[in-house]
Amino acid sequence: MCPVAVATGAEAATAASMMAVPLLLERGALAPADALAGTSLCLGCGACTAHCKVHIPVGQRLAAWRAPQVAPPPPDPLTPIEGGARIVCVLTGSSAWSARWSEATGVEVAVVSTNDSLGHAAWRLGHPGVLEGVASHFAGRELVTGSGAVEEVARAAGVPVRRLPAPAADAVFHPCHAGPRPGPGQLACCGRREGFPEREPDAARMVAEENVRLLGDVITSCADEECACWLRAHGGRVVGPTDSPGCTDV
């Protein structure tokens, strides 16, 4: 079920292998650097837990184990909100969709940009203060986003948030932010999650390319703009909720 194990063929990427790493380190069978490398292939998507008969939270446990070994990345400073409207469009890529959404809905919007999905990776890896900062920054506001990562952070911080609708297409890619995939035709994750391309660029590329191969040549809809951009950058015919024009450079 692990998308990294399927895409790379690496036995080291299986949940059983990675969960054994802390024990092997404790017994002196692995060096600390090798132990960190042995858990870095986990995307944290939760696919293994979804199919585990005893529901072991592999991704959460590995992230918790890694946190003291590797300082979590600090979140980017939250940028100023442009405009005084109560509704804030959170931009992770193109700035065009906020104007289109405002015109289509007749709702006045403010705008804010983020390069790290409001500190999603830092929050998931235990960096303190992320949720408190987000809650304070957006107090009294409601967010609109096309990013599942932004939505996760906002909801955890108690900030109201709504998702942009997914575009119509011949097929649907089910992002891991939405839970376990409903059926065949894709891996459990696109490979873009939680800084994985920066940590494991080769494995992330293989996960994206295997998803593109499984999706085939049909136009596919994805409700997560970051996943859609990532898959498009690797040759997929995938449309996202914002259709950001520059996202092929992800």
Per-residue pLDDT tens for 21-30? 988 988 999 8
Distance CA 120, CA 78 (A): 12
Tell me how many domains the chain contains.
Answer: 2
Q: Copy the structure tokens of residue 224.
A: 């997560």
Query: Are residues 210 and 240 located together in one domain of the fold?
Result: yes
Query: Are residues 245 and 133 located together in one domain of the fold?
Result: no
Residue 79 covered by a domain: no
Residue 19 covered by a domain: yes
Query: Are residues 60 and 128 located together in one domain of the fold?
Result: no
Residue 60 covered by a domain: yes
The segments of the chain whose pLDDT lies below 70 read 71-72, 94-95, 182-183, 244-250
What's the order of all strands across the beta sheet hosting 109-113? 109-113, 87-91, 142-145, 161-163
- List the domain range (segments joined by +) for residue 43: 3-70+167-249
Query: Are residues 151 and 171 located together in one domain of the fold?
Result: no
User: What's residue 38's pLDDT?
Assistant: 84
Q: What is the pLDDT of residues 135-165, one digit of tens each?
A: 999 999 999 999 999 999 999 999 999 999 8
Identify which of 188, 187, 178, 169 has the alpha carbon closest to the alpha carbon of residue 240. 169
Query: Are residues 228 and 104 located together in one domain of the fold?
Result: no
Domain end, chosen from 140, 163, 186, is at 163
* Confidence (pTM): 0.86
Residue 137 covered by a domain: yes
Query: C-alpha distances in angstroms, 8 versus 3, 45, 205, 210?
Result: 8, 16, 10, 9
Residue 154 covered by a domain: yes
Domain end, chosen from 144, 163, 182, is at 163
Are the C-beta atoms of residues 35 and 24 closer than 8 Å to each other? yes
Residue type, 135: A
Query: Are residues 65 and 183 located together in one domain of the fold?
Result: yes
Query: Are residues 114 and 220 located together in one domain of the fold?
Result: no
Residue 81 covered by a domain: no
Residue 23 covered by a domain: yes
Query: C-alpha distances in angstroms, 23 versus 34, 41, 127, 195?
Result: 13, 17, 25, 25
Residue 11 covered by a domain: yes
Q: Copy the structure tokens of residue 63.
A: 């992230």
Domain end, chosen from 141, 163, 185, is at 163
Query: Are residues 180 and 245 located together in one domain of the fold?
Result: yes
CATH number, domain at 97? 3.40.50
Query: C-alpha distances in angstroms, 53 versus 3, 36, 44?
Result: 19, 27, 18
CA 157 vs. chain centroid, Å, equals 17
